[in-house]
């Protein structure tokens, strides 16, 4: 019997500048998580990176592979043994233009595999990124922190967490 | 109860908390079936008797194959047991080494979605994928798939966008997933099939 899923777990629209947003106490009852972020930055000059950190793990257990285009050229690069995942490369945060991220965190609650996330980051005025990241931990993900390289997310930035359950 | 916590950079270092209950399950997105590979692996994963009550299909999951000598592999998609050269694909990919690659093939039976971990990837590394099969039951047009996939192995990786065309107007009622290398799916590989409804 097919079962309805893809439920909103939590969402917020920032009413004031904030330096980070954390989803915590994430239930382990879903199979995948999807996070949708539309964010601005507060200060000029800008071009700040968003970082994702899982379960408050500050160790060098994160890595990413990146496909990025800025309108004139495309490139591929990677970050290894990092203390968080870069969520963007060309589509960095600015103050005057919304940037969007759509993050799929696959099989987040299993306790046997490292965790893989695939996502896109977009800013029409700068570029588009497609990225894959790995967290070298078999722990179930219960907390997701979206931090910034510097400064604050501007008021009006939105963060939404969805759960998808496979039957 | 899930929490969202935000942290201000104001001098008071204030914290705000927002509580949000899970929304009611009244979505147009439904779980149809899931296959998780057990110990010993599996040569393929197949969904059969797919209901025709949806508009689109989505397959989500993680995968790793035992492809020898490589950290990566690819998923071969086969519809309705059609093993003929009735497929075509294009891809845009990056392996983290500087360049961006493009690939394609026409009239092939070896259409694939790269970005899956192979045997030389570090243990416990799996590729992730989200595959959309659009208008799968429409009998007036060929079928198009789009895939969003990748794996990262901390020093190697693969990120890919793919599209696959099936040169057939039949409604899709079965989908088989094998590996480009013809090996086996490793334990913990998982494929989950979802249906997306159109407007009533």
Q: Is residue B61 part of a domain?
A: yes
> Out of B2, B29, B127, whose CB is closest to A6?
B29
C-beta of residue B181 within 8 angstroms of C-beta of residue B63: no
**Mean pLDDT computed over B58-74:** 96
Q: Do B188 and A77 touch (CB under 8 A)?
A: no
Give the integer Cα–Cα distance in Å for B74 and B160: 10
Contacts of A147 (CB under 8 A, 6+ apart): A19, A20, A50, A51, A52, A53, A84
Q: Do B124 and A27 touch (CB under 8 A)?
A: no
Both structure tokens of B91: 């891809």
Q: Is residue B3 part of a domain?
A: no
**Selected residue of B49, B60, B152 to mutate for chain A interface (largest A Cβ count, 10 A):** B152
H or E element that contains A135: strand A127-135
Q: Do A5 and B153 touch (CB under 8 A)?
A: no
CA distances from B185 to A41, A75, A116, B108, B182 (A): 43, 31, 17, 22, 10
Q: Is residue B124 part of a domain?
A: yes
Residue B14 scores a pLDDT above 60:
no
Predicted TM-score (pTM) of the model is 0.93
- Residue B43 Cα, gap to closest chain A Cα (Å): 20
Contacts of A160 (CB under 8 A, 6+ apart): A8, A10, A11, A12, A35, A36, A37
Q: Is residue B187 part of a domain?
A: yes
Both structure tokens of B171: 């409604």
> Out of B16, B24, B98, whose CB is closest to A76?
B98
What is the β-pairing status of strands A127-135 and A115-123?
Answer: antiparallel
Q: Is residue A142 part of a domain?
A: yes
Q: Is residue A149 part of a domain?
A: yes
Tokens 């008021």 sit on residue: A155
Taking the CB of residue B37, how many other CB atoms lie within 10 A of it? 20
CA distances from A10 to A108, B2, B91, B196 (A): 16, 7, 34, 22
Domain count, chain B: 1
pLDDT per residue over A21-77, tens digit each?
999 999 999 999 999 999 988 876 677 899 999 999 999 999 999 999 999 999 999
C-alpha angle with apex B149: A106 to B77, nearest 5 degrees? 110
pLDDT per residue over A128-145, tens digit each?
999 999 999 999 999 999
Domain count, chain A: 1
Question: Considering just the CA atoms, what is the radius of gyration of chain B in Å?
Answer: 20
Q: Is residue A1 part of a domain?
A: no
- Domain range spanning residue B167? 26-196
- Residue A107 Cα, gap to closest chain B Cα (Å): 7
8-state DSSP, A49: P
Question: Considering just the CA atoms, what is the radius of gyration of chain A in Å?
Answer: 16
Q: Do B5 and A66 touch (CB under 8 A)?
A: no
Q: Do B159 and A159 touch (CB under 8 A)?
A: no
Tell me which chain A residues have a C-beta less than 8 angstroms from the C-beta of B20. 8-12
Least confident of A9-23, A101-115, B2-16: B2-16
Q: Cα dihedral sign for B111, B116, B118, B120?
A: positive
Q: What ipTM is given for this predicted complex?
A: 0.95
Provide the strand spans (E) within chain B: 3-7, 15-19, 29-36, 45-47, 56-63, 72-79, 87-94, 100-108, 112-117, 127-134, 143-152, 157-166, 175-179, 190-196
Q: Is residue B21 part of a domain?
A: no
- Residue B47 Cα, gap to closest chain A Cα (Å): 13
For residue B90, the domain's CATH number is 2.60.120
For residue A36, the domain's CATH number is 2.60.120
Taking the CB of residue B58, how many other CB atoms lie within 10 A of it? 19
Q: Do B22 and A9 touch (CB under 8 A)?
A: yes
**Mean pLDDT computed over B46-65:** 97
pLDDT of residue B83: 92
Q: Is residue B171 part of a domain?
A: yes
With bands split at pLDDT 50, 70 and 90, how would you rate the model's confidence at B7? Answer: confident
Q: Do B16 and A18 touch (CB under 8 A)?
A: yes
Q: Do A17 and B8 touch (CB under 8 A)?
A: yes
Is residue A143 classed as helix, strand or coil in its secondary structure?
coil
C-beta of residue A142 within 8 angstroms of C-beta of residue A54: no
With bands split at pLDDT 50, 70 and 90, how would you rate the model's confidence at B193? Answer: very high
Give the integer Cα–Cα distance in Å for A113 and A128: 29
- Residue A125 Cα, gap to closest chain B Cα (Å): 21
- Of all residues in chain B, the one with the smallest CA distance to A61 is B154
- Domain range spanning residue A118? 7-164
């Amino acid at each position: 019997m097919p079962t309805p899923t893809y439920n909103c777990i939590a969402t917020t629209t920032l009413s004031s500048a904030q330096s980070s947003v954390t989803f915590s106490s994430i239930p382990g009852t879903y199979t995948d998580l999807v996070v949708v972020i539309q964010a601005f930055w507060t200060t000029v000059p800008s071009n700040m990176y968003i970082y994702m950190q899982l379960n408050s793990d500050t160790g060098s257990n994160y890595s990413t592979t990146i496909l990025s285009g800025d309108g004139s050229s495309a490139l591929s690069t990677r970050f290894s043994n990092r203390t968080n995942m870069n969520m963007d490369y060309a589509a960095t945060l600015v103050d005057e233009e919304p940037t969007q991220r759509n993050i799929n965190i696959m099989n987040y609650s299993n306790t046997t595999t490292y965790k893989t996330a695939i996502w896109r980051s977009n800013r029409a005025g700068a570029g588009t990124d497609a990225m894959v990241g790995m967290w070298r931990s078999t722990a179930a993900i219960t907390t997701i922190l979206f931090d910034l390289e510097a400064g604050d997310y501007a008021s009006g930035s939105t963060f939404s967490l969805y759960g998808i359950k496979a039957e | 109860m899930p929490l969202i916590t935000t942290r201000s950079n104001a001098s008071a270092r204030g914290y705000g908390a927002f509580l949000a209950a899970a929304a009611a399950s009244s979505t147009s997105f439904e779980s149809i079936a899931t296959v998780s590979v057990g110990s010993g692996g599996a040569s393929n994963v197949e969904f059969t008797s797919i209901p025709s009550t949806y508009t689109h299909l989505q397959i989500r999951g993680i995968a790793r194959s035992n492809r020898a000598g490589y950290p990566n592999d690819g998923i071969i998609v086969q519809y309705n047991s059609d093993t003929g050269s009735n497929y075509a694909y294009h891809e845009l990919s990056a392996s983290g080494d500087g360049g961006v690659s493009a690939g394609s093939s026409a009239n092939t039976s070896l259409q694939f979605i790269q970005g899956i971990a192979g045997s030389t990837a570090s243990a416990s590394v799996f590729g992730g994928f989200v595959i959309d099969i659009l208008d799968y039951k429409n009998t007036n047009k060929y079928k198009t798939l789009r895939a969003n996939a990748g794996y990262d192995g901390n020093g190697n990786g693969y990120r890919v966008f793919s599209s696959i065309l099936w040169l057939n107007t039949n409604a899709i009622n079965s989908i088989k997933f094998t590996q480009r290398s013809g090996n086996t799916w490793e334990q913990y590989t998982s494929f989950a099939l979802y249906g997306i409804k159109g407007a009533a």
